[in-house]
Amino acid sequence: MGTLRKLDEIGVPIMAKVTTRLSDKEIKSAKPSEKEYNLFDGDGLRLRIKPNGSKNWIFNYYRPTSRKRANLSLGKYPDLSLANARKATLEANELLAQGIDPQEERKRQQQEYKSVHQHTFSNVAKEWFEIKKDDITPDYAVDIWRSLELHIFPSISKVPVSAITAPQIIDLLKPIEAKGSLETVKRLSQRLNEIMNFATNCGFIQANPLVGIKAAFKKPKKENMAALKPAELPELMGAIANASIKRTTRCLIEWQLHTMTRPSEASGAMWKEIDMESKVWTIPSERMKKRRDQRIPLTDQMLAILEVMKPISGHREFVFPSDRDPKKPCNSQTANMALKRMGFAGRLVSHGLRSLASTTLNEQGFDRDLIEAALAHVDDNQVRSAYNRTDYLERRRPMMNWWSEHILEAATGCFSVTSVKQLKVVDSN
């Protein structure tokens, strides 16, 4: 090492302290003491020896901007040899010569590595989905993830989110559009944008490059779900009564019709959710589309359906158990498939049963708020929705009773579940 010349008070040169280079022998023989201490090698490199015996290479330097002292950990000895520690120190000093902080450069390199190897589209999508699935129903969560696995992951799962571009995604979705699946393209575009917005908010990318990609595709025509007109209810009840379907399926369709619930809410009904004494069915928030508990007043006709199901599933968890695996509920599409087989394809889907109920009740002049509450719709007015938390349970009872009686009247002469139960009551008298 050279020396640094300084002058004393009378102008005589004095010698600065000289740092002797370390040797492997010296490092190996260094023993721990009660307090940690350093062995110096020069150029800012030091070996820190801790009381537990560990030996760590440290580069001590002045930050280029603040001129404050800082330490950069280089690694443990002997994993990092003396020669390699000196090499790392040389590289750090070269960065300082360019005005670059070695710590900041390391962070930049780590972030770059993460963006390529850790922040791939599939990894970021998984992180997003873990949060997303808490705000949606289990069935919808399955639908979202399945769509990504089918259409997106095969092409870009290992691509860093920082490398994803709008033209790349548009090219990926164009074949789906060409097949006429415009609704699928719309939903995928929405989900991809949610994932990339999540990546932006987490700092994985600077901005979402997919904003506005929907403009590159045709808009799907808005089509209402197929539903019958109120006057066609007797036809439906006759078809249900005469259909060659399992009793559980028949009960499920009528249960969904009477309760005005969504297919997944009806098929997933559990016995523990039903309070026979209070005549209330409470669907927990995690099973509801809008993530709010839904209470449904049970009419005599609804209770009649439950009575029919008791011998079949009363000892099980679900009211309408799956035929293949009774420990699981019926598939949410069970009613839909049955309606198709009954000849209603293109005219009615199971979700359309709600529309049939809504149209009928609105035509009869029932309070719109009661109808919307029965359908578990959330008010579009967010302020009103936030303050209006009532579910009008007791006020809905007369309306639900009327609706069940109306269904029963439409089934007159048919062997629906509820009409058969009514006949038995009459016969017993």
Residues acting as catalytic residues: 262, 289, 351, 354, 377, 387
How many whole angstroms separate alpha carbon 85 and alpha carbon 40? 12
Going through 258-301 in order, the beta strands assigned E by DSSP cover 274-275, 280-283, 294-297
Q: List the structure tokens of 95.
A: 């960065």
Secondary structure (DSSP) of 337-404: HHHIIIIITTT--TTHHHHHHHHHHHHTT--HHHHHHHTTPPPSSHHHHHH-----HHHHHHHHHHHH
Q: What are the two backbone dihedrals, phi and then psi, of residue 12, each rounded to the nearest 5 degrees?
A: -90, 130
Q: How far apart are CA 329 and CA 332, in angstroms?
A: 8
* CA distances in angstroms from 188 to 144, 170, 185, 217, 343, listed in the order given: 9, 11, 5, 12, 32
Alpha helices in 179-270 (DSSP H): 182-201, 233-242, 247-259, 263-267
d(CA 49, CA 57): 9
Return the amino acid letter for 73: S
d(CA 195, CA 128): 6
- Are 215 and 189 in contact by the 8 Å Cβ rule? The answer is no
Strand partners, 73: 58
Report the distance separating Cα 31 and Cα 263, nearest Å: 73
Q: How many helices and strands (H and E) does the chain possess?
A: 18, 9
State the Cα torsion 322-273-414-356 to the nearest 10°. Answer: -100
Nearest to 320 by CA among 305, 300, 340: 305
Q: Which of 180, 193, 191 is nearest to 220 (CA)?
A: 180
Question: What residues have CB less than 8 Å from 111, skipping those under 6 apart?
Answer: none
